Amino acid sequence: MTDQPASQDKHALSHSLLQAIRGVLVQARSQLQQTVNQAMVQTYWQVGQLIVEHEQQGKARAKYGKQQLQTLSEQLTAEFGRGFDVRNLRNMRAFYLAFPKRNAVRTELSWTHYRRLIRIENLKARDWYMQEAIDQNCNSVYETYGLVHHFNEIDVYHLRSP
């Protein structure tokens, strides 16, 4: 009978140790994911800036922009792998054009959030979405999409541009 309490203590100790280690690992993964997302957002903003400022000389579109983006896409993909198709380069360009001030880019939001946000032309509406996504801690594309979808269904008179 003395073996049973020792066995239970051993199991309880193993369980509490496992829970503590899980907590550390989950926190580390979350921090790592947040760091990667922040680096991606900042990098994609800089790529967008370079496309607009250097390739396009500050204009909304470069002369022969389609071909330039295609060539750039091929070169970046060959060197860095996936993530640099023409569509994503256009998104990076649109990201910079939508948020030309780097300090306006919120670190709490991911590239997925920003891909949704750059499609919103109304600045007040975009700012509202950004704050709502942060306040509601929308971590996934589905949560962000749900927020945008809900927003599109409600009366947003106070967010309309004059």
Q: Mind listing the pLDDT tens digit for each residue in 37-82?
A: 999 999 999 999 999 887 767 666 656 567 888 999 999 999 999 9
How many domains is the chain partitioned into structurally? 1
How far from each other are the two terminal CA atoms of the chain, in whole angstroms? 81
Residue span of the structural domain in which 141 resides = 106-162
pLDDT band per the 50, 70, 90 thresholds, residue 36 = very high
Residue 16 CA from chain centroid, whole number: 35
**pTM higher than 0.75:** no
Amino acid (1-letter code) at residue 46: Q
Residue 115 lies in a domain: yes
Residues for the chain: how many in total?
Answer: 162
Residue 156 lies in a domain: yes
Residue 153 lies in a domain: yes
How many Å apart are CA 68 and CA 147, to the nearest integer? 35
